Structure 1
Amino acid sequence: MACASVHHQIDQISSSLDGDFNIYPLVPPCTFNLKIDLIKYYLDKSVSKNDITILAYGLCHPRIKELLMSYGEEVVRLKGSNCYEMFLGTAQYKTYHKKAFWILNKPFLTKFKKDLLSGFDLKTKNGRMLIEDSYKKLLYLDFKDDPLDKEFIKKFADQVYLDYEIHPTDLSNLRHLLEEAIKSATPCRSPSSSKTHMETPPISEIKRILEELDEIIYKIDINSRKVTYINPQVEFMLGYTPEEFMKILNEELQVPIYHPEDRNYVLAKRYKFILDCLNLSIKEVFRIEYRMKHKNGETMWVEEKLFPILNKDGRITSFVGKIADITKQKALNRTEFYKDLLLHDIKNIFNNIKSSLHLFKVWKEDANKSEKREEMIRIIDEQLERGTSFISNVRKLSEIDAQDQIIKSVNIKTMVQNEIKYFQSRFQEKSLEINTEIPSEIPKVVGGDLLEDVFENILINGYLHNEKEKVRMWVYLSKIKKNGKGYVKIEIMDNGVGIPEERKKQIFERKKIITKNKSGMGIGLSLVQKIVASYGGEISVQNRVKGDYTRGSNFVLLLRES
């Protein structure tokens, strides 16, 4: 397994060594977006399929040491704190490190340049200041057989405001480390094990396995569409006997086992999957996460999977499903999410303030730098406002996750009108025109106080991402029906720069870096999507003018009638 930054060189070296090698590249390199679960996935895959497993990856990921401890002697990691120490050797690497050189190689300036720039926040002025303050020079590792145009290197160095130096590098140290790792590795799998005959256990053993699993296993008959088997684990997980739970699933007992907000959605999705499998010969796996209620009334998060079972002819004979308790996993994911928010994003804000203060001190006595000093004060003030907004948004997210927010009936018509007035009073730097169509018969919707933040965020985005001298926006409200249910449709359009098609699916995802903005919502549209979903609504983005994203965006919200 190799970090993407050394993958090419590892491939070269292994081709000249004895034996067969399977190389699994870890993409993207370092920790910019690489999940520890992905490293574990490839380690498990390698350990199960190969005689020995070598990891050519540094200590870049904060959890890599903890992960490797769980594998013991099954995995051998190449010596070196990172890929550059593996290339240069410890002595040479430490020399450059003490000189505060920023060491890079070809993958970071080509395939992963975008990850690199976002990872170091170089798209902002303060991010560039931080690089100037932290690194003294850029050092490029140049491999003879994998060259890069020197003008390309110079252009990148200019972009990050650093001088650069090119270090000719060969594969000798990396080859030595790889050969050393192979010699020290202990084979953990017999070469003939892959040819071992797979024995089918008897029915009694299969039944025992099902009874010992930590998940609920059930079977659906395709003719009656009824559940015909449930393993005993249901009693430990949900408090019902298999007989009781079977009657509940078959709707012979009316017991509220689903969270009321999830029930109809889960039943509809599961039923549609079964029909699609039978009518359209779909043989995929159904997966859904939702909330269930224990017999004692407690709510838990579960993951359900449903598998079509095929006979020799490829025809579906039944469905087997499993339901796993993922409550702890959900809680852990939330913990990691907030940890990432606080460690990464607050650190970003502090670094920007630190860089601005540093420059302010440098220019303090220079009479010609008064405008620069004013700019630094403005940036510091802006970052403090951004931090306040960020903390507020973390609180809102925690309210949603903890389900502490109050769901109520909201007069959406009045709320939208008030938010537009407030927004117009705040933003007066550019000419702003907002046109509205709000019919009098618009009903109330299911929502809460956080809907105001949703509307404000979308308006702010439409205003800030607009290069026109006159910012124009349109807000339309209407009533629609979807799947037999009534919704209020809210369209918020602008004449801004628009969103390319390839980015439309990504804009509601949580970003690693918060880009600087004037009234920053901090976590932005990921928060908007989370709030809307918590009220049972939907949000999407379209082009204001069909087929031409450059003429602005149209954010569409669907909120349930109360």
Structure 2
Amino acid sequence: MSFKNEYSRDQLIEKDYEGIINRIPSPLLLWKKKDDSFLCVGYNHAFDEYFFRSGKKLLGKKIEQIDIKFDIISLLRKCFNSKSTLKKEIKYKSKNLTLNLLLQIVFIPPNLILIEIEDITEKKKAILQLEASEVKYRTLFEEALNPILIVNDDGNYVDANEAASKFLETTREDIIGRNVFDYSPPGFVEKHREEHSPFYDRRTLETQYYVNGKIKILLLNVVPFVHKKKRFLYGIGQDITELKQIQRKLTESEEKYKDAFNQAQFYRDIVIHDIRNMLQNIKSSIFMSQYYLKDTFEIGQILEINSLIIQQVNRAEKLIKNVNTLSKIDKAEPELHKIDMFPCLTDAINYIHKSFPQGKIDITINSSKKSYLVLANDLLQDVFENILLNAIKYNENDVIEILIEISQEKISNKLYNIIQIMDNGIGISNNMKKKIFHKKEKGKGGKGMGVGLSLVKLAMDLYDGQIYVKNRVKDDYTKGSNFVLSFPIPS
């Protein structure tokens, strides 16, 4: 509370100025202009208590007669001449103490001046400590190796240190004023808003920044705070972009070697299983041949057994070819070009008939034309051969019937060549339909479905096509299978 300069001399007398100034807690002195000097004409109790001296001894004395340890004459003259209120900070030495005082010098017309004295020593200490603290904070803020960003309640940056500028690859001036979501990767703004919700909350998270066309990752620790009644967020982060790249490469490497190991295991299982069966069949056939050779009248049986041996040898050759082809696909993607798939299909059918010369195999093609272009490579014939071999291998009928239907269909505004290969074999259960194209799955009775269907699936993926299997007869898988292949028609 300070003494107002709205009272005239007469009003002070009327209002009992002594009573007024004694109610003010700050030390006060009242001066009156006389000639070229100023007389002390009043004081309050706070003056006595604060300066440990009687203000009464000052009454009636000129300013020049009073021992005051600071220059007050020039201040009184300046106030009187300007007829205005002045403020002045001074240092006042009292015994072993040095005090910081704030003088408010008020002109009271026509010739009075009131000096109000406020001790601001502790306030000055606090200000100095705050300034020192701010210097230390600023030094730590600027010299920190980790990016530090300060955001207001609206999500706009209000400060950033040098490390943050390096992370965002721009200047501090460019960062300030921008919104935090301005650095979200394209299409990630809503996702980032969800990750940072509620916004004014403590959190630790990995967040992505889109910086000069590339994504960088910051492990960010966010802490809310209040300064001058305004809310802010203090975020200190660690650039983990390279760490994430290393982790991704390690994961890819682990998956690569895991896949290589699984692939080797798969090839081993297939070769051991299928070759063992083939050798057993050949061994049995040789034994039967030796038996029938004793009777020259059983030449027909011997020829049939020799045909079986040839079939097993052909199967072994096909297995070796498939394993070799699969290993090449796994290593690199072959180049694709436009191929007429109809000749590939007929060549595959001819291969089947040559491989099973004694077999009763009826293969029929229903097609409106004899030419269908697809984007493929030399594996296309292997695709057809393996599906046809599968239809024969898992068939217990005396006559194996295979119906092939070719058509064209528009799917999602794109034209496809559709091939359906239907057989009258033992069929595939619904549970197995989802698994037969995976390398390690087993067929009916635990028998391996073979490497062939794995090759088919890999090739169809390579051709950007699709393959799936359904029942030849709806709701009865035991009546045979229908393999459906879709090939995009090249433009």
TM-score exceeds 0.5: no
Tell me the TM-score range normalised by the shorter chain: 0.3 to 0.5
Normalising by structure 2, what TM-score?
0.43
Q: TM-score, normalised by structure 1?
A: 0.39
Higher RCO (C-alpha 8 Å, min separation 6):
1
Higher strand share: 2
